[in-house]
């Protein structure tokens, strides 16, 4: 590992870096053991894919504004599972440009006397700031999340921010005046630039808007997707289903290896972004459908449509029995299960292996250094019935 920084001064109260007390090598050992403990009964977990430099890796970061008990303005990170704000000057996980932008906006809030949103009174202006950066640092988006669409001294604020950080390529005002734990609201207005950034991943270009889902660790995402491709063992005649496809990143990176990709996602905005990403990359053998993946698979099975490989990348809660039973009915040759939670992956693998599938390979990937999270990728193959 290339370097070790001084421990974060707020690590004890922030809660964002649960493993900062460990060296990075020890973190990887901890996560590999966690993966083995949960899914090792299905097959050997011999490797965890880590980072050469595990710092400043997050390309999407936000800070929140609020008040302390004395009515003083605070800006920083929420303590895990609370709305208590811990001031942070330099997060060791966040992109360095994002850290600099946050510190400037904190200073500008004071000099421009912008009111801060009060979650109890449900009034005020500045609520959160979200920064997204491209992997090459050439494109930077700043999203100012406010409790009102009326931006006092807007032009002066934007000019001051751009003067300090001329590399910012777009600024968006997002309005969120609801009592919610969600960062973004439903309404956005472009204040500067084109309203989105673009990033390159494994040679493909992806458009990222304020609300787009996109993996936050670019280096590890490329390693993860290469692993998915390795496990999928695609052939030119294969039809692939990308369940929980989001904005289409996995399916798009696999499309040139197979006959056809079907992406299924229940979020309408994600499906729209996925279609745009396919067009940007000139990919014609991929289609995206806004639907429940389980219901979609049942219809395919009833119509006797053949899918060779299913890629599934569910949320932390894993898949439900309805989805898994639909997957069994579809009966693909291979399943590549990408999980951000080996506990729920263990439950789902138990279901699948009891119904005609066998786990052939499992590997772990560290997507979030300094946190307790570990990603596991499992390859399952259908057990062929013995000829009687």
CA–CA gap between residue 293 and residue 259 (Å, rounded)? 20
258 catalytic residue (yes or no): no
- SS3 state at 380: strand
* Cα–Cα distance for residue pair 269/208, rounded to 1 Å: 12
Residue 69 exposed, middle or buried by CB count within 10 Å (0-12, 13-18, 19+): exposed
State the Cα–Cα distance between residues 331 and 340, nearest whole angstrom: 24
Question: Could you tell me which of 296, 347, 357, 293 has the C-alpha nearest to residue 317?
Answer: 347
Measured distance CA(367)–CA(217) in Å, rounded: 6
Cβ–Cβ under 8 Å, residues 64 and 77: yes
Nearest CA to 151 out of 192, 119, 120 is that of 192
Nearest to 106 by CA among 83, 90, 84, 95: 90
End-to-end CA separation in angstroms for the chain? 55
251 contacts: CB under 8 Å, gap ≥ 6:
240, 242, 245, 261, 263, 274, 286, 311
Asked whether the beta carbons of 287 and 263 are under 8 A apart, the reply is yes
298's enclosing H/E stretch is helix 293-302
Question: Using CA atoms, how far apart are residues 328 and 166, in angstroms rounded to an integer?
Answer: 53
d(CA 85, CA 91): 14
Coil, helix or strand at residue 162: helix
Q: Which of 8, 245, 258, 340 is catalytic?
A: 340
Work out the angle at residue 53's Cα, subtended by the Cα atoms of residues 49 and 58, and round it to the nearest 5 degrees. Answer: 90
Q: How far apart are CA 86 and CA 236, in angstroms?
A: 52
Confirm if 77 and 86 have CB atoms less than 8 A apart.
Answer: yes
The DSSP code for 41 is G
Active site (catalytic) residues = 340
């Amino acid at each position: 590992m290339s370097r070790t920084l001084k421990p974060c001064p707020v690590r004890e109260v922030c809660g964002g870096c649960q493993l900062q007390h460990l060296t990075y090598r020890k973190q990887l050992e901890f996560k590999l053991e966690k993966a083995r403990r949960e899914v090792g009964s299905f097959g050997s977990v011999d490797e965890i894919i880590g980072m050469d430099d595990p710092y400043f890796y997050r390309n999407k970061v936000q800070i929140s504004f609020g008040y302390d008990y004395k009515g003083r303005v605070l800006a920083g990170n929420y303590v895990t599972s609370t709305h208590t704000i811990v001031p942070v000057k330099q997060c060791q996980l966040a992109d360095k440009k994002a850290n600099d932008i946050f510190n400037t906006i904190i200073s500008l809030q004071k000099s421009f006397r912008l009111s801060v949103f009060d979650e109890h009174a449900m009034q005020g202006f500045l609520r959160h700031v979200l920064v997204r950066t491209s992997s090459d640092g050439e494109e930077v988006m700043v999203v100012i999340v406010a409790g009102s669409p009326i931006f006092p001294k807007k032009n002066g604020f934007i000019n001051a921010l751009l003067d300090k950080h001329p590399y910012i390529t777009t600024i968006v005002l997002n309005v969120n005046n609801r009592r919610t734990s969600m960062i973004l609201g439903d309404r956005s207005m472009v204040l500067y630039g084109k309203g989105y950034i673009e990033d390159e991943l494994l040679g493909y270009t992806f458009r990222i808007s304020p609300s787009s889902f996109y993996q936050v660790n670019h280096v590890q995402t490329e390693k993860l997707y290469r692993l998915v491709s390795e496990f999928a063992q695609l052939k030119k005649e294969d039809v692939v289903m990308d369940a929980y496809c989001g904005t289409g990143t996995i399916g798009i990176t696999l499309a040139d290896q197979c006959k056809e990709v079907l992406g299924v996602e229940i979020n309408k905005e994600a499906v729209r972004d996925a279609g745009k990403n396919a067009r940007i990359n000139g990919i014609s053998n991929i289609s995206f459908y806004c639907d429940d993946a389980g219901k979609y698979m049942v219809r395919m099975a009833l119509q006797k449509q053949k899918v060779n490989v299913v890629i599934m990348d569910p949320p932390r809660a894993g898949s439900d029995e309805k989805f898994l039973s639909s997957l069994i009915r579809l009966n693909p040759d291979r399943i590549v299960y990408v999980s951000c939670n080996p506990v729920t992956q263990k439950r789902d693998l138990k279901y699948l292996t009891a119904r005609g599938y066998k786990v052939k390979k499992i590997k772990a990937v560290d997507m979030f250094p300094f946190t307790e999270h570990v990603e596991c990728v499992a390859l399952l193959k259908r057990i062929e019935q013995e000829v009687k």
